[in-house]
Amino acid sequence: MFTTKNLLILIGRHAIITILAIITAASSVWVLSRQITRLSEDVQKNRSLASMLEKRMELFASVKRDTELVGTNDVLIERAFVPLNNILDFVAMLEGLALKNGVTQAFHFENPVPSTIPIPFPLAMVPYSNSLNGNLASFSNYLKDFERLHYFTKIENLSISTQSKTGWRDAGTMSFQANIQTNATQ
């Protein structure tokens, strides 16, 4: 029956079972907490990678939009800067304008000077002067066509004079000083 010995054996068994259950539970909690920590770190890393990926996708989308906006305009801008070592295309355009508008012209180009425009590639400015003979209508048409040229040029000074007593409709002289921006890279 219930003796002290049996009671102690029963309490011992239950104590050993309880201790084993506590050890098993503690080791399970310890193993599971390590796995949870590892999973939590993986989730946090995946979230940061997903966030970085999303930012890069936004950047790429922005670059794509900007590239579509620029399109072929970058080629036009590049062509607008005459090469410093070859301004013959620009001179040919000026001669074409004079022929088209029925004026005679004489121009003089000066030595290039460094440009004051702050951009990432070197520019030089070539000052030049142009003197035209014709009538006011031809001068006006010449200037309209000159404005449509795809070069970066700026008229600094313009003067129109005539010796005729009848006014501007007869022959006169137009002269201007201008600068053309050139690409200084060789």
Range of the domain at 4: 1-71
Do residues 39 and 97 share a domain?
no
Q: Which two tokens stand for residue 103?
A: 């004026």
Asked if residue 186 has pLDDT above 60, the reply is no
Do residues 173 and 94 share a domain?
yes
Do residues 38 and 97 share a domain?
no
- Please tell me the least confidently modeled range out of 16-20, 57-61, 109-113, 160-164: 160-164
Do residues 100 and 174 share a domain?
yes
For residue range 128-172, list pLDDT tens digits in order: 999 999 888 888 899 999 998 888 888 899 998 887 777 667 788
Tokens 């309490």: give the residue.
11
Q: Considering its fold, how many domains does the chain have in total?
A: 2
Do residues 84 and 173 share a domain?
yes
Do residues 66 and 84 share a domain?
no
Q: What are the b/e assignments for 10-42, b being 16+ CB within 10 Å?
A: eeeeeeeeeeeeeeeeeeeeeeeeeeeeeeeee
For residue range 14-50, list pLDDT tens digits in order: 999 999 999 999 999 999 999 999 999 999 999 999 9
Give the closest residue to 77 by CA, choosing from 141, 121, 143, 129: 121
Which pTM was predicted? 0.58
Do residues 48 and 119 share a domain?
no
Q: Give the domain-ending residue among 18, 53, 71.
A: 71
Do residues 61 and 111 share a domain?
no
Do residues 64 and 81 share a domain?
no
Do residues 141 and 100 share a domain?
yes
Q: Give the domain-ending residue among 43, 71, 99.
A: 71
Q: Which pLDDT score, from 0 to 100, does residue 168 have?
A: 64
Q: Which pLDDT score, from 0 to 100, does residue 1 have?
A: 61
Do residues 134 and 170 share a domain?
yes
Do residues 33 and 93 share a domain?
no
Q: Which pLDDT score, from 0 to 100, does residue 38 have?
A: 92
Q: Give the domain-ending residue among 71, 105, 128.
A: 71
